[in-house]
Structure 1
């Protein structure tokens, strides 16, 4: 389907990228479970390998089922192109791969999923890359952290775990002034709540594992390119602006223009890194995305109801949901996420670390899992799980102090969600000091920073 610009979101989430199967007429996108594709002849094969013709070569690079998903995500995000890969973490490395080199660095928000903090603070060092973490509400700190070797700014639209909303427009202006791209992880918001490209983002990354699929069945990731960045404006991005030896000196930006990044991500990134999404995973995600808008509306409505109830509970110290008027990020909702503040937020308990563990252990409807974005309600205690590898200081900065639990509110009946929380909070015990596995007996502080 060729997507007219006037098609609405609800139509695109069902139809974008999808065409009846030419061989059978199948209306639903088939699972093309194949590793390789027959070439018409020797000239056809040569043209594909020289990037002179678009087509399918080998499923490490492209696959028809995965290609439909990439096209659909790009359409929903308002991007020029997209590439899908095996997980959200793979998408982050894929996003950085064409931009970076030994000695280069990124500037990143310090309010991120714990695994991303570890990937950026530890793993990428093995490639000779660096990362400076800053509070992205402090725009002067962001500017000060950028140097001549900085190649991108990275943030999350709705930060995991706290649900804090980032001022994407302000960061985009800083990135533009520095001549570098803004990369936005839009997993927690989805393109239904926010389209970062409309706020100046160059690249958008997703863990499709989460809300896009919505069923907790498969992992996946995606990188969407706005197509608007001038990769040849300076010499910072030679992978895109300079001759590529593996393709006989082809210059990606000169040759493919607004699709340069997407072609590079496939022809070099997937070719060499091999972070391939399998076609069955793509199929599950395509099915999930057909109801994305319906699910997100229910997620947001439930999150609003549950967060308001929690804010009034005597065992609760604070709730970080940006949809609450008490949130320092409340004013950003209309600007960045006008359809709602998502369904991810944290709750700090007066009973501290031990009360958090008791709450998790006594819930019945909620699932205790290391995931978010399912149709069902989920809970986790970040300090002892997803953010356990961080220092106590990093946990607090990320919004994952030891007295905090993260909730991903599902689409169940909100009365049942509240009833489950109520009975578990009653069993969680009386208030006490919040302690950390990093430092037993040390009071922990939940952050509620003023948005700039």
Structure 2
């Protein structure tokens, strides 16, 4: 192309990919191999010493995965990315580069239930401590800052309630504190929101959800915005100090604005090992090609379904930022003008029992623990994804006992509404 910057849909199809130089294959091949042959001893030494880029072993990098990484980095406006085995793996690898035992990170309380569980319990064994803040109260992030704070973690669109987070306001808090802002952009995808444009330093995704989009492949990704100076404060020795395993290289000094992505690969993925399979990378790449088409259909359907539910007598309330009456509608207009996403919750007047009953009566919606599928999905979070929380924590996270979560697919909206209508009537 000329000097013209490609549009989003063009990047979704082409970014990172070229015809295979050996066979001419237009689709990115699946490089289903564990390891790669070196040219000679010097080439091998250079690869292991981070003096040249190239393939060593699929746990560390793979050509199929590399196309996926470059594509998502382009869509998010980042400098580099690293694909890993799942969204949870992405969170572990990111925080391993930032936290030492005894350190803290601040997280918005409105998060996916699995992240709440991971942060609260699993990370304790690493000596990493989470401090909770309220995304509706920006000052709560400021109050949570201590000398041990090393990062702030939020979701752009919060799971399960679909609330929109004020990324710019929280970014201001992070900048003032001298810590990076990490944004989980899973529910929005870069089609709706690009957190880096609003001050995020690191973006993570569960590729399993809207980016892959078809409910067939697990994956996660880390995107480096290239905006944070890891050497400014001395808080991040993994990036600013000499690395003994690489002959004293300082990653920030050597790799500049993609040093964090390199650190995640050569210090995190290399040693922790949550590698994404090339086959899953291929499947997710295929999904991304239709991301703009799918996301717009998801959002259009979700708004229609939310409007139907808002007028139903069995429904107590609907939490969907795309509704003009919703408390997050202004933030949705600012951050996600193309649509407020496809995942939202509603509360039933019959409480917990009504929620459990509804999911069993739906026929077109699939009752399962996932979001971001082409198919419409339903779950009762209080009895499943958020069941490990006490009642007060469930309510604070948007998963109270009367709440049902929907992930709206790309079917005909009339069929989705009819299914809900019969289940609510029953």
Tell me whether the two structures share a fold, i.e. TM-score over 0.5: yes
CA distance, structure 1, for counterparts of residue 422 and residue 104 of structure 2: 47
Looking at structure 2, the residues matched to 262 and 135 of structure 1 have their Cα atoms a distance apart, in angstroms, of 29
- 2:291: which partner in 1? 292
Q: Unmatched 5+ residue regions in structure 1?
A: 428-452
Q: What are the superposed Cα offsets for residues 411-440 of structure 1, whole Å, 9 maximum, x if unpaired?
A: 10000000000000112xxxxxxxxxxxxx
User: 1:276 and 1:206 mapped to 2: Cα distance?
Assistant: 15
Task: State the distance in 1 between where 2:160 and 2:284 align.
Answer: 23
Find the residue that maps to 1:98 and give its secondary structure. Answer: helix
1:268 CA displacement: 1.1
The runs of at least 4 consecutive aligned structure 1 residues that moved more than 3 Å come to 2-5
In structure 2, the residue matched to 1:309 is 308
Q: Which residue of 2 aligns with 1:21?
A: 20
Shift in Å, 1:137 = 1.7
- Is the 8 Å Cα contact of residues 3 and 16 (structure 1) preserved in structure 2? no
Counterpart for residue 169 of structure 1: 168
Verify: 1:228 aligned to 2:227, yes or no. yes
CA distance in structure 2 between the aligned counterparts of 1:349 and 1:62, rounded to whole angstroms: 47
Partner of 2:107: 108
1:60–1:274 contact (8 Å) kept in structure 2: yes
Distance apart, 1:234 and its partner CA? 0.6
Q: CA deviation at 1:141?
A: 1.1
So what's the TM-score if we normalise by structure 1? 0.93
Q: How far does residue 22 in structure 1 lie from its aligned partner after superposition?
A: 1.1
- 3-state SS of paired residue (2:98): coil
- Residue 228 of structure 1: how far off its partner (Å): 1.1
CA RMSD after TM alignment: 1.0
If the length of structure 2 is used for normalisation, what is the TM-score? 0.99
What are the residue-to-residue correspondences of 1:136-215 with 2, within 5 Å? Answer: 136-215=135-214
Worse-superposed segment, 129-138 or 305-314: 129-138
For residues 402 and 4 of structure 1, do their structure 2 counterparts lie closer, same or farther at Cα, with a shift above 3 Å needed? Answer: farther
8 A contact 1:106–1:131 mirrored in 2: yes
Cα deviation, residue 338, structure 1? 1.6
Question: Could you say which residue in structure 1 is the equivalent of 2:401?
Answer: 402
1:62 paired with 2:61, answer yes
In structure 1, distance between residues paired with 2:180 and 2:3: 27
Partner of 1:266: 265
Matched, 1:417 2:410: no
Q: Which residue is 1:379 aligned to?
A: 378
SS at structure 2 position matched to 1:97: helix
Specify every segment of 5 or more residues in structure 2 that has no aligned partner in the other structure, as ranges.
Answer: none
Return the alpha-carbon distance in structure 2 between the equivalents of residues 184 and 140 of structure 1: 18
